[in-house]
Amino acid sequence: MGGSASTPPKPPLSEHSKQIAEEVKQHAVVLYTKDGCGYCVKAKNELYEDGIHYTEKNLNTMAKVVPNPQEYINGLMDLTRQRTTSIVIGIDPKHHMSVYPPTPTMSMMHGGAARKRANRPPNVGSRELNSQENEMLFQLVGPEAVSLTAAVVQLLKSDRGSWRVELQHGVISLVKDYAQRAYFLRIFDILEERVVWDFKLYKAFRAQSFPQCRKLLAFEQMENGDDGVVIGLNFFSEYETAEFKEHLDRRHAQERKSATPARPVVPVVMSSETSYIMIMF
* Alpha helix stretches (DSSP H) within the chain: 15-24, 38-49, 59-62, 69-80, 106-110, 113-118, 131-141, 238-256
CB 238 within 8 A of CB 265: no
Q: What is the pLDDT of residues 226-235, one digit of tens each?
A: 667 899 999 9
**CA proximity to 145, closest of 202, 111, 183, 193:** 183
Domains of the chain: 15-118 (3.40.30.10), 131-276 (2.30.29.30)
Instruction: State phi, psi for 13 to the nearest 5 degrees.
Output: -75, 145
pLDDT in tens, 71-118: 777 777 766 666 555 455 554 444 444 554 444 444 444 444 444 555
Q: What is the pLDDT of residues 24-41, one digit of tens each?
A: 777 667 777 777 776 777
pTM: 0.56
pLDDT at residue 184 greater than cutoff 90: yes
- Check pLDDT > 70 for residue 172: yes
Amino acid at 61: T
Top-confidence residue, 63 or 178: 178
Closest by CA position to 57, among listed 38, 37, 32: 32
